[in-house]
Amino acid sequence: MKENVKEKQRKGMKRETILLVVTLIITIILLSIFPDKQEAVTTASWKFFIEMILILPAVMVLMGLFAVFVPKDMVVKYLGKTAGIKAVFLGILMGALPTGPLYVAFPMASALLKKGAKISCIITFLSAWACIKIPQEMVELQFLGPRFMAARLVLTTVFVVIMGVSIERLIEWSDKKESKSMGGKDDASI
């Protein structure tokens, strides 16, 4: 499976490099048709490039550290055995630490589900994984400023907890209804 992931990454990089070349060619053509836009486009791009390149190595170092020091199986182990409201917040913390795109977290969430972790915990884990990662927050800080970042962080945390708890209730409720309609077996199916 690891080979498969590597193969996929290599393919993805090739595709992105081709896309970059295509974007560059289109931009050059566009700018030669509209020479009066040249300055505005290059200054804007250059400014964003500088802002990005000043922090990108640091962000990558943070991501690398989290990837190696917080291995996936450790996350699954910790989350699988925690219960109650603590699990919800641990879900957020554990989601915010490791790195990778969201689809990497789905198999982990599935493993957690099989281990009997709480649904609210899995939802907060996935949501935190998606949008409040620490290296990601650094990029947000750089480009959108401390007020924007802090406000979004706090609001997201609050709403993600609410969402986790409601989805858990909804799924429990619908499971109960299903098991009742199947002949009143109640919680035996769980």
Per CB under 8 A, contacts with other proteins among 46-75 are 46, 48-49, 51-52, 54-65, 67-69
- 29, two tokens: 């053509």
Nearer to other proteins, 56 or 93 (CB): 56
- Give least dist CB 90 to other proteins, A: 18
If binding is defined by CB under 8 A, does position 16 make contact with other proteins? yes
If binding is defined by CB under 8 A, does position 126 make contact with other proteins? yes
Among 2, 73, 146, 188, binds other proteins (CB under 8 A): 146
Among 7, 8, 11, 17, binds other proteins (CB under 8 A): 17
- Give least dist CB 163 to other proteins, A: 5
Among 8, 45, 85, 189, binds other proteins (CB under 8 A): 45
- Give least dist CB 81 to other proteins, A: 20
For helices 134-181 and 38-69, angle between their N-to-C axes, nearest 10 degrees: 70
Asked if residues 51 and 143 have their Cβ atoms less than 8 Å apart, the reply is yes
Strand residues in 41-80 grouped as ranges (E): none
* DSSP summary character for residue 186: G
Nearer to other proteins, 45 or 189 (CB): 45
Among 80, 139, 165, 179, binds other proteins (CB under 8 A): 139
If binding is defined by CB under 8 A, does position 152 make contact with other proteins? yes
Asked if residues 78 and 94 have their Cβ atoms less than 8 Å apart, the reply is yes
Asked if residues 113 and 120 have their Cβ atoms less than 8 Å apart, the reply is no
In the range 95-124, which residues lie near other proteins by CB under 8 A?
A: 99, 101-103, 106-107, 109-110, 113, 119, 122-123
CA distance 101 to 68: 16
Nearer to other proteins, 36 or 187 (CB): 36
Q: Which helix (H) or strand (E) segment is 175 a member of?
A: helix 134-181
Among 159, 173, 177, 186, binds other proteins (CB under 8 A): 159
Asked if residues 138 and 59 have their Cβ atoms less than 8 Å apart, the reply is yes
CA distance 185 to 179: 6
* DSSP summary character for residue 81: T
10 Å Cβ neighbour count for 17? 10
